[in-house]
Structure 1
């Protein structure tokens, strides 16, 4: 395995369906949402204000059109879908991807105890650097799997170095699912609030020996307007 490779380590099998609350305003601050679209549909993602470095980096790239026509180049069912490598834009069929970066440095890790790898979260990929700093462009969205208490106990002993999973997070992993072994190791900085079915659909596509989809899955990402965000808030309040 190349240490430079921008990917998730230990592809542990993981997940199911979920419903995720839309909004969390702090001090009246306007929340930031992006729409990720593919030929399989679209998803609305809220970016977390608790991870401002990752949020602002994503917004800059989105506003610059960086992600337009890039691929989901690494897909593992019951685990995650990964994209954002700039080398994927004009990649030849079967070409191995995952080492591309945007101009600029890595993004410092922003681990938060309250942000964890439940199904539908947006997180930053990274290479094997000791600071666990994030790629400045590559990301993944968790599909994952549902866990039992026994499986979570085993993870605590073998993969989490004795760190206990809080009970409220356990309940999420036992119902919605996710990838708990990645917590506090990769930065989580957003979550899908609409269109989770697209993630399940992409996760199920046929892939080659490098986990690249046999048929290219191209993406576009745009930032939602204030009017669209207000409509999301209104629709959420009607539920």
Structure 2
């Protein structure tokens, strides 16, 4: 019995050591468009969304998909598999991969400008689309603006979140309704450029905006040094 306990303890320590070693690296994601590149990292607090996005990106799924819905002052959306072969003017936004990702809401993760979040339909579980995502742009808020947001959502906006929304902007009424799972750490201006493009009545850009998504594993210290992103 004692030997069995020691073996379990050794295995637990070894597992912890491996986990700690892995945590020293992260995946840097680059979304490339004709308007520039955006670098992102995905949050460990949303492991299902992170793993799913990395799998699709590493398989090349996103290459050739479009930013098919853009709303200046709100967000830019992409990842619809149907957009790869869409003709000009075709309605987009209904494509899927046949499965969803369970919602992963976290009080620390909110819709400040630059986050990546999962699109979804109106399912009661608020499960996410397997592939469609959006990058938050939003607007800068004043203190008096939050009363309307809180009436709309029935939830108070945390004071710390308010300060961020007042400084860089975002979309507070979407908090805890759509899963936020990563953030742009370089290239925020690309979101603005794409959001401002001419579009049709369905918010599809008049000229296609395809993306290419690549993944590079890097040491977290290097990501911090190169992009200024601070890991918690």
Measured after TM superposition, the shift of residue 31 of structure 1 is 2.2
Measured after TM superposition, the shift of residue 234 of structure 1 is 2.7
- Counterpart for residue 19 of structure 1: none
CA distance in 1, matches of 2:173, 2:68: 22
Matched, 1:117 2:117: no
- Counterpart for residue 164 of structure 1: 156
Matched, 1:149 2:140: no
**Contact map agreement 1:31 1:49 (CA 8 A) in 2:** no
**Structure 1: 4+ residue segments shifted above 3 A:** 236-239
Instruction: Give ranges in structure 2 of 5+ residues lacking alignment.
Output: 1-18
Structure with higher helix content: 2
Partner of 2:181, secondary structure, is strand
Measured after TM superposition, the shift of residue 155 of structure 1 is 1.1
Larger radius of gyration: 2
Instruction: Give ranges in structure 1 of 5+ residues lacking alignment.
Output: 1-25
CA distance in 2, matches of 1:140, 1:61: 15
Structure 1 segment 1-239 matched on structure 2, within 5 A: 27=20, 29=23, 30-102=25-97, 104-157=98-151, 159-161=152-154, 163-226=155-218, 231-236=222-227
Measured after TM superposition, the shift of residue 237 of structure 1 is 6.3
How high is the TM-score relative to the length of structure 1? 0.84
Partner of 1:226, secondary structure, is strand
How high is the TM-score relative to the length of structure 2? 0.86
Q: Kindly tell me: are residues 74 and 166 of structure 1, through their superposed partners in 2, closer, same or farther at Cα, counting changes over 3 Å?
A: same
Measured after TM superposition, the shift of residue 153 of structure 1 is 1.4
Compute the RMSD of aligned alpha carbons. 1.8
**Contact map agreement 2:102 2:126 (CA 8 A) in 1:** yes
